[in-house]
Structure 1
Amino acid sequence: MSETNGATITANLGIEVRGGNSQNYPKKSYELSFWADTLGASNRDVKLLGMRNDNKWNLQALYNEPLRANSKVANELWQEMSQLYYKDKEPDAKNGIAMSYVELFVNKEYKGIYSLTERIDKKQLKLKKYTTSIKGELYKGSDWGGAVTFTALPPIDNTSLIWGGFEYKHPEEYTDWTNLYDFVSFVETSSDAEFLKQYPSKFNLKNAVDYYIFMNVLRATDNYGKNLYIAKYNAGEPYFYVPWDLDGVFGNDWMGRNDNTTDDIVTNGFYKRLNQDCSAAGFRGVLARRWAELRTTLLTPDHIMAKFVANNAYLQANSAYQREQAVWPSFSYDNTQLTYVSNWLTKRLAYLDGAFSQRCTVLSATPGKAGPAVRLYPNPATNYLVIEANAATYDVCIQDVSGRVALKTTAHTSVSRLDISQLPKGLYLVLVKGENFVMTEKLVRD
């Protein structure tokens, strides 16, 4: 690695292609493991580009980002918005990652613009280590299971590192899903009175508010269950959210296409219940006050667009866009994208001004079904797809990977069965939209 100041680092590496669906892209993302030897028997910590000192790093390909800046701007904004509640105890802890642009060569072949990033792990969050019992906890939302969206409660299996869409990350020494299971069960099954009384001790309220605001400003429709982390600093402490994989944001979907929708709310089963807390010191009260505060400082079109402009100018000044286009013909730099993001952001913030200032009204709710939860099954599917929603009417749109609408309909019953037998086999995006909710999920037709 050669830095602009002339400093160089040479090291042996273990290299792994990373990502879920992004592994299908021609431009790959990588996880790097630095070695002190040639076989990976011992690790080597390195400090890169002013970021943390560690032996593991990620190289994000940014392949589906029109300006190669979405995730970088989003993570910069989150670092400004949110601090860990235990920062005074752990001054080096970070509730997210830093990112820095690099250009990559593999076997002397140029691979284009990448972002070198830190990782979300116990070291980044300074979680308490396992001794004779579980203290700190970390789970990654890696799939659209019912537990990550708080819409289902599958049984746990402590012999597996996967449960309900979550992937077990810390502690590595001992696997026990009981604590997280109990929290998901509490959200889904507790009475309204129990939920309102106990949730502030189970999940950090300020973090819940900040992530809800952040997720909705970005319209992060791929980050309300999957593509985030839920963590606990120490035994007896509350859980909190950590963002991750923020590429399909700021008016773009997870495939990098412009999506000009600005008038909806991104949510999950947990937030649907939180939104029923109308007390002055509760979720809705804190949300309104925090929104008003952020709208005068960080959450303005000028502040956010300044980040896009700065990243765009940096890549332009270094002619990186031209080299990216030369090596990846599917990429074409579009100078109208800055204007598109600016217009989208202005409309989005204006919509949220109204949505977050609405009068708080308590609605009757069935525990576990707070608001219009949506379930899709089977997935993968062959001949039919079943959609269950706590709504009488909702729109369904199925798009292929190129954005072409393969099926579009309006359902007039809470449970609908769609014939998909005529769709070609492959990967699709299902969008379900009701009056007060929107849900997107990937579907495999096999």
Structure 2
Amino acid sequence: MLKYEIFINPKLLQKLEDDIWQDDHVPAVLKIGENRYKIGLKYRGNVIRKKKKKSYTIIFQSPYLVEGAHEIHLNAEYDDISLSRNKLSLDFFNRIGVTSPHSMHVQLYMNGFFKGIYLELESFDQHLLKKRNLPDGPIIYATNYFANFSLLSPENELKSSLDEGYTIKYGVQTDLFKLEDFIKMINTSSNEEFAKEVGKILDIEKYLRWLAGVVCTQNFDGFIHNYALYLNSETNLFEITPWDYDGTWGRDLHGRKLDHDFVPISGYNTLTGRLLHIYPYRTKYKEILSSILENDFSLVTLKPIIEGQFQTIKPFIKTDPYINMDEEQFEKEKYVFLRFIMKRNSYLKKEMASL
């Protein structure tokens, strides 16, 4: 596991702590091995900012790019005692054909003090597109629960704007116009018009693969939050990618256990509901999900991956100052994953007939 060392003026570190909600980064230095990089550092996330172990965003300043990235995230994974749900989820999405950020665990030190085991995540931005040899295009983040592809908020109140819940990550503000038009079409077109037009705006197969991934991993928030939209400039179609998947594999984002049947096979959000109302798309979803349940979301496939992930982290568990757990307790958490996969797989196969 790589060692990341951040050196920062204690006064600037205190500045971050005095206002945990500020989004201005402060100057620091990141040392990885023998290499040193000038960076900007800030806290990231929402709930995690109130925790003792906080998450960070690192922006490379000199050099501007490091291994093709300008920005990376260091996630505390504070409420996930396995420290693994996010990484295993994103790796799973990549496996089933959904473009997702890569990640790896690192040991983080701050001014010589060990801050614990962190998950380094790629930023889903224009630099990731370039590294994956994907066409350039706008990237829009779903930043809160209003990003439900609906005219109404989750509280069933009329939204003040069609782009409420979304933020431009890469591109210009006018790039939101196409998304606004799409949301309007989703909510106001007839079934016949929707079936005719949706394939001209959305990469439907990739969306259905993403849907299958959310349904399998059971991310309750994933349908209306924790995703990004990318407008592929070659196809001129929206694609979707997952983000922040710590509330998965049998637990919610607070670390509490979830029943294996908590999220339905059809998921939920307005766009998904309309797509699955159309017979050819519902049939395609069944084909995709059936293949994933047979080949990817199974104990045969996932057990060695999960065991390998736990073996990577286990030697470092005792060293993390924020984890009050021994290796035996950590090892037990592995079986939460395995039981969930077995039960969820069986449940989804039985539910296939309801589609």
CA RMSD of aligned residues (A): 2.2
Does the Cα contact within 8 Å between 1:148 and 1:164 map onto a contact in 2?
no
Structure 2 counterpart of 1:394: none
The two structures have a TM-score, normalised by structure 2, of: 0.82
Separation in 2 of the partners of 1:34 and 1:125?
Answer: 18
* 1:351–1:244 Cα change, 3 Å: same
Q: Deviations over 1:1-58 (max 9, x none)?
A: 759xx9532122211111122111111111111222xxxxxx52212xxxxx222111
Partners of 2:334 and 2:233 in 1: how far apart? 42
Q: Is the 8 A contact 2:138 2:175 kept in 1?
A: no
Decide whether the 8 Å contact of 2:226 with 2:242 is kept in 1: yes
The code of the aligned residue for 1:144 comes to Y
Change (3 A) 1:331 1:167: farther
Aligned partners of 1:329 and 1:234: how far apart in 2?
44
Q: Is the 8 A contact 2:140 2:228 kept in 1?
A: yes
Give the aligned partner of residue 88 of structure 2: 73
Which residue does the alignment assign to 1:417? none
SS at match of 1:167: strand
Q: Secondary structure at the match of 1:11?
A: strand
Q: Which amino acid aligns with 2:102?
A: A
1:209 aligned residue? 208
Could you tell me which residue of structure 2 aligns to residue 408 of structure 1?
Answer: none
Partner of 1:395: none
- Compute the displacement of 1:125 (Å): 2.6
Q: Alpha-carbon deviations, 1:231-253, whole Å to 9, x = none?
A: 21117612111100011000110
2: distance between equivalents of 1:219 and 1:207? Answer: 18
Q: What SS is found at the alignment partner of 1:101?
A: strand
* Alignment equivalent of 2:322, drawn from 325, 328, 339: 328
User: Aligned pair in 2 of structure 1 residues 149, 182: CA closer, same or farther (>3 Å)?
Assistant: closer
Match of residue 166 from structure 1: 166
Greater alpha carbon shift after TM alignment, 299-308 vs 190-199: 299-308
Partner secondary structure for residue 257 of structure 1: coil
The corresponding residue for 2:343 is 347
How far is the alpha carbon of 1:305 from its aligned partner? 2.5
Question: Counterparts of 1:201-280 in structure 2 under 5 Å?
Answer: 201-234=200-233, 237-265=236-264, 266-278=267-279
Q: Distance in 1 between matches of 2:135 and 2:159?
A: 28
Aligned counterparts of 1:71 and 1:264: Cα–Cα separation in 2: 18
Give, in whole Å, the separation in 2 of the partners of 1:329 and 1:297: 34
Unaligned runs of 5+ in 2: 5-31, 153-157
Q: Given that residues 227 and 244 in structure 1 are in contact (C-alpha distance below 8 angstroms), is that contact kept between their aligned partners in structure 2?
A: yes
Show the counterpart of 1:430: none
Q: Distance in 1 between matches of 2:178 and 2:164?
A: 14
CA contact (8 A) 1:263 1:351 kept: no
Structure possessing the higher relative contact order (Cα contacts under 8 Å, 6 or more residues apart): 2
**How far apart are 1:339 and its partner, in Å?**
1.5
Tell whether the 8 Å contact from 1:74 to 1:246 is kept in structure 2 after alignment: yes
Amino acid at match of 1:76: D
Report deviation, 1:151: 4.7
Partner of residue 112 from structure 1, selected from 105, 116, 124? 116
* Match of residue 66, structure 2, among 46, 51, 55: 46
- Whether 2:150 is the aligned partner of 1:154: answer no
Q: Which residue matches 1:124?
A: 128
SS in 2 for 1:247: coil
Q: Which has the higher helix share?
A: 2
Preserved contact between residue 74 and residue 218 of structure 1 (Cα < 8 Å): yes
In the other structure, the counterpart of 1:61 is 76
Residue 32 of structure 1 corresponds to which residue in structure 2?
Answer: 58
> Which one of 41, 64, 76 corresponds to residue 15 of structure 1?
41
Report the equivalent of 2:21: none
Cα distance between partner residues in 2 of 1:232 and 1:176: 9
Q: Give the C-alpha shift of residue 329 in structure 1.
A: 5.0
1:110 and 1:96 map into 2 onto residues whose CA distance is: 29
Measured at CA, do residues 351 and 151 of structure 1 come closer, stay the same or move farther in structure 2, by a change above 3 Å? farther
Question: 1:309 is matched with which residue: 307, 310, 313?
Answer: 307
Q: Is the 8 A contact 1:103 1:113 kept in 2?
A: yes
Matches within 5 A, 1:187-202: 187-202=186-201
Percentage identity across paired residues of the two chains: 19
Cα pair 2:140 2:167 within 8 Å, conserved: yes
TM-score (norm 1): 0.66
1:73 Cα offset (Å): 0.7
On the 8 A contact 1:2/1:8 being kept in 2, the answer is no
Matching residue's letter, 2:259:
N
Q: Which moved more, 1:211-220 or 1:200-209?
A: 200-209
Residue 357 of structure 1, CA deviation: 3.4
Specify every segment of 5 or more residues in structure 1 that has no aligned partner in the other structure, as ranges.
37-42, 48-52, 84-94, 130-135, 158-162, 361-446
Shift of 1:330: 5.0
- What letter corresponds to residue 154 of structure 1 in structure 2? K
Q: Quick check: 2:85–2:245 contact (8 Å CA) kept in 1?
A: yes
Q: Is the 8 A contact 2:317 2:323 kept in 1?
A: no
Task: Check conservation: 1:144, 1:226, Cα contact below 8 A.
Answer: yes
Deviant stretches of 4+, over 3 Å:
126-129, 153-157, 329-334
Q: 1:357 to 1:209 in 2, by over 3 A?
A: farther
